[in-house]
């Protein structure tokens, strides 16, 4: 199969862990060990989140004495290179004969997307409410609740077009495991006369971009790997229940938090609705079983039977 696997930022850096190089490397090594299970016999494209990492770089830049730093599109490219390098190296250590390539991938967005005036994408560290108020005021950042803490939120426009599909296709046809569209891709938009592309201050949702990339590549399956084992209804309440298999029409009627599970569900729904193929959301630790349809939440075409735990 041709499989696109989207690795969540929280799968690469667990909630509550400090943003240290040691923690990131340990989690990437763990991720590589799981991903190696599904390489043989498949064409694999890996995408990954970068919310914690790009937010940390932005914070470090803002705290410099000059107060100057690079915009989010450039910081996104930096994190793509860093995370891609670590994934490539750890996968190569496990699969020394496998050819692996990491690509920086630009993704076009609409400069008039309403997301630019309504930031929702959490990035960077988790703060207490008091620290978040102080830091947000100091830097002029929008802040919003994320779990039990508060994080900076930035614009997250919808991906319109993944640029550079041809080299990805060529590499796949030559047996290469490709790491691409990290962090949702590097956001660019047509400015002025509509021909020149410029980087924009945003972070594209990785799951929505992965869904678009999977459709454009003609993937057989989209796997969204995160830090929970399934999609839950009424999550965090006594009545919560895991969805094991749900058809795409039923899923469209359900509502999930915009800053966490919502984009993952929408990404899976869009892929299945547009291709008639399957998508799976679940824990990175169960990725082999997810590909085989034995774990996670499987989103299937309309008319299939829904199962819940």
Rounded distance between C-alpha atoms, residue 273 and residue 302, angstroms: 8
CB atoms under 10 Å from CB of 298, counted, come to 25
Catalytically active residues are 9-10, 121, 206, 264
Distances (CA, A) of 186 to 2, 29, 174, 200, 225: 23, 25, 25, 9, 21
CB atoms under 10 Å from CB of 9, counted, come to 24
Tokens coding 23: 């923690």
Q: Give the DSSP letter string of the chain.
A: -EEEEEE-HHHHS-TT----HHHHHHHHHHHHHHHGGGTTTSEEEEEE--HHHHHHHHHHHHTSTT-----HHHHHHHHHHHHHHHHHHHHHHH-TTS-EEE---EEE--TT-GGGGS--EEEEEEE-HHHHHHHHHHHT-EEEEETTEEEEEE--PPP-EES-HHHHHHHHHTT-EEE-SGGG-EEEEEETTTTEEEE-S----HHHHHHHHHHHTT-SEEEEEESSSSEEETTTSTT-EEEEEEEHHHHHT----TTTHHHHHHHHHHHHHHHS-EEEEEEGGGHHHHHTTSSSEEEE-TTPPPEE-
């Amino acid at each position: 199969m041709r499989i696109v696997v989207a690795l969540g930022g929280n799968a690469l850096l667990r909630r509550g862990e400090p943003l240290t190089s040691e923690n990131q490397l340990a989690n990437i090594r763990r991720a590589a060990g799981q991903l190696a299970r599904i390489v043989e016999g498949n064409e694999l494209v890996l995408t990954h989140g970068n919310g914690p990492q790009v937010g940390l770089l932005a914070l470090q830049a803002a705290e410099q004495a000059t107060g100057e730093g690079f915009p989010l599109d450039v910081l996104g490219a930096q994190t793509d290179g860093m995370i891609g390098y670590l994934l490539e190296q750890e996968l190569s250590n496990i699969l020394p004969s496998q050819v692996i390539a990491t690509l920086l991938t630009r993704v076009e967005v609409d400069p008039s997307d309403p997301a630019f005036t309504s930031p929702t994408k959490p990035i960077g560290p988790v703060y207490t409410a008091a620290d978040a108020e102080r830091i947000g005021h100091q830097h002029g950042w929008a802040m919003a609740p994320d779990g039990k803490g508060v994080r900076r939120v930035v614009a997250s426009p919808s991906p319109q077009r993944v640029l550079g599909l041809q080299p990805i296709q060529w590499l796949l046809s030559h047996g290469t495991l490709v790491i691409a569209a990290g962090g949702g891709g590097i956001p660019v938009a047509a400015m002025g006369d509509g021909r020149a592309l410029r980087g924009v201050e945003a972070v594209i949702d990785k799951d929505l971009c992965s869904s678009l990339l999977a459709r454009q590549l003609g993937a057989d399956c989209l796997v969204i790997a995160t830090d929970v084992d399934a999609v839950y209804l009424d999550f965090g309440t006594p009545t919560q229940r895991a969805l094991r298999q749900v058809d795409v029409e039923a899923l469209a009627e359900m509502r999930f938090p915009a800053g966490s599970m919502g984009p993952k569900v929408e990404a899976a729904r869009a892929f299945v609705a547009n291709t008639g193929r399957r998508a799976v959301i679940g824990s990175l630790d169960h990725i082999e079983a997810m590909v085989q349809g034995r774990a996670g939440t499987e989103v299937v075409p309309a008319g299939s039977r829904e199962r819940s735990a």
